[in-house]
């Protein structure tokens, strides 16, 4: 099939790579280059960089607004059978989409987790299964008809970045399936159940906290769901330590009675949480240092049983 690809972030890279091999990409649209790094040099989006290197003969445009007459005319002039939209970053208007078969890959099992941060929120909520959805584009965010879905289990110590990579890798097969069914005329669109909608709002830096007074599973999910950004930060010895990964605690015998945040086992990173539960800290990052295993951190700081991490939601 002849495909137009619209995307910006790394989530769409595996699918663009597959489309370039299995189909004919006739055009790529991405966001404008942005200034980044210490030198504030203009840098292309991941999609823009990949397309420039691997698809040099394919038209590539970077409009600040895809819905302007100029940009709309350019994209609609490309002879295509389908448009694939993944993490593009701009809303596509009705005049642009008119009479086009356009699909979007979204990283959740819609209607659960519509919005900007579906992977984070699936982990934060303690979901054990998530996946991808391919939908038509609609006026309301992520409210289109569902054309296909794939599922993936969420492991107890998987972070947002872990799951992001796995779901991105699942995308190409699902997009291929939907395109083939479109070609065969066998698509069966499903309307989303509005009563089942949950929202995945955009995260902020101030969300990076954890309350060890809550049950351990809740603390674990919060740590993993906010990693690597905004990242849970806790106090220890006058420093602010990022906690980047946590797992379920395996503890033989009775759990020692300890106040929330107290380190029960510094070797295994076991920390007391609410209700007599324990969470296992796996990876942390001290100020100015690279991420490290908890045991390396504990050895370097000579942490002992009874030391305590200060958590909790900061006061507004």
Return contacts of 33-40, CB within 8 angstroms, 24+ apart: 33/62
In this structure, of 153-162, 222-231, 250-259, 289-298, the range with the lowest mean pLDDT score is 250-259
Question: What's the rounded mean pLDDT across residues 46-66?
Answer: 98
Backbone dihedral angles phi then psi of residue 169, each to the nearest 5 degrees: -70, -25
What the block records as the tokens of 22 is 């299995």
In this structure, of 24-28, 34-38, 76-80, 177-181, the range with the lowest mean pLDDT score is 34-38
Cis check: omega of the bond before 95, within 30 degrees of 0:
no
Q: What is the CATH number of domain 205-301?
A: 3.10.25.10
Residue 156 has pLDDT above 60, yes or no: yes
116-155 pLDDT, tens digit each:
999 999 999 999 999 999 999 999 999 999 999 999 999 9
d(CA 197, CA 243): 31
Handedness of CA 15, 77, 187, 86 (dihedral sign): positive
d(CA 75, CA 175): 20
Q: Nearest-5° angle of CA 131, CA 137, CA 140?
A: 90
Question: What's the rounded mean pLDDT across residues 66-78?
Answer: 97
Q: Residue 187 has what pLDDT?
A: 98
Q: Residue 130 has what pLDDT?
A: 98
| Domain ranges, ordered by start, for the chain | 2-200, 205-301
Q: Residue 39 has what pLDDT?
A: 72
DSSP state of 116: S
For the domain made up of 2-200, the CATH class stated in words is alpha beta
Q: Residue 232 has what pLDDT?
A: 98
Residue 36 — pLDDT band, cuts 50, 70, 90? confident
Question: What's the rounded mean pLDDT across residues 7-18?
Answer: 98
d(CA 277, CA 254): 11
Question: What's the rounded mean pLDDT across residues 87-99?
Answer: 96
Q: Residue 252 has what pLDDT?
A: 63
Q: Which residue has the tokens 């005319």?
A: 73
DSSP state of 200: E
Question: What's the rounded mean pLDDT across residues 23-40?
Answer: 90
Q: Residue 253 has what pLDDT?
A: 63
E strand or H helix at 82 = strand 82-86
Residue 254 — pLDDT band, cuts 50, 70, 90? low
Residue 221 has pLDDT above 70, yes or no: yes
Cis check: omega of the bond before 111, within 30 degrees of 0:
yes
Question: What's the rounded mean pLDDT across residues 296-303?
Answer: 94
Q: What's the chain's Rg over C-alpha atoms? A: 23
Cis check: omega of the bond before 228, within 30 degrees of 0:
yes
Residue 302 has pLDDT above 90, yes or no: yes
230-250 pLDDT, tens digit each:
999 999 989 999 999 999 998
């Amino acid at each position: 099939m002849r495909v137009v690809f619209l995307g910006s972030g790394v989530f769409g890279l595996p699918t663009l790579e597959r489309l370039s091999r299995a189909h004919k990409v006739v055009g790529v649209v991405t966001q404008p280059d942005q200034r980044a790094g210490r030198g504030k040099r203009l840098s292309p989006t991941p999609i823009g960089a990949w397309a420039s290197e691997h698809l040099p003969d394919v038209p590539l445009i970077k409009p600040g607004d895809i819905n302007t007459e100029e940009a709309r005319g350019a994209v609609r002039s490309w002879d295509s059978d389908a448009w694939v939209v993944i993490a593009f970053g701009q809303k596509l208007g009705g005049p642009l989409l008119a009479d086009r078969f356009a699909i979007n890959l979204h990283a959740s099992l819609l209607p659960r987790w519509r919005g900007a941060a579906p992977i984070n929120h699936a982990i934060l909520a303690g979901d054990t299964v998530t996946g991808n959805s391919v939908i038509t584009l609609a006026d309301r965010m992520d409210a289109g008809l569902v054309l296909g879905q794939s599922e993936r289990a969420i492991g107890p110590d998987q972070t947002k970045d872990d799951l992001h990579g796995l779901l991105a890798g699942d995308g190409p097969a699902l997009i291929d399936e939907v395109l083939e069914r479109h070609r065969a005329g066998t698509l069966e669109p499903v309307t989303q159940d509005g009563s089942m909608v949950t929202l995945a709002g955009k995260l902020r830096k101030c969300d990076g906290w954890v309350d060890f007074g809550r049950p351990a599973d809740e603390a674990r999910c919060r740590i993993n769901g906010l990693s690597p950004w905004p990242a849970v930060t806790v106090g220890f010895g006058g420093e602010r330590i990022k906690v980047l990964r946590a797992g379920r605690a395996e503890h033989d015998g009775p759990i020692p009675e300890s106040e929330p945040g107290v380190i029960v086992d510094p070797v295994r990173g076991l920390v007391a949480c609410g209700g007599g539960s324990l969470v296992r800290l796996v990876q942390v990052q001290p100020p100015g240092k690279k991420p490290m295993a908890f045991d390396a951190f504990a050895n370097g700081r000579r942490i002992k049983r009874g030391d305590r991490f200060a958590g909790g939601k900061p006061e507004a």
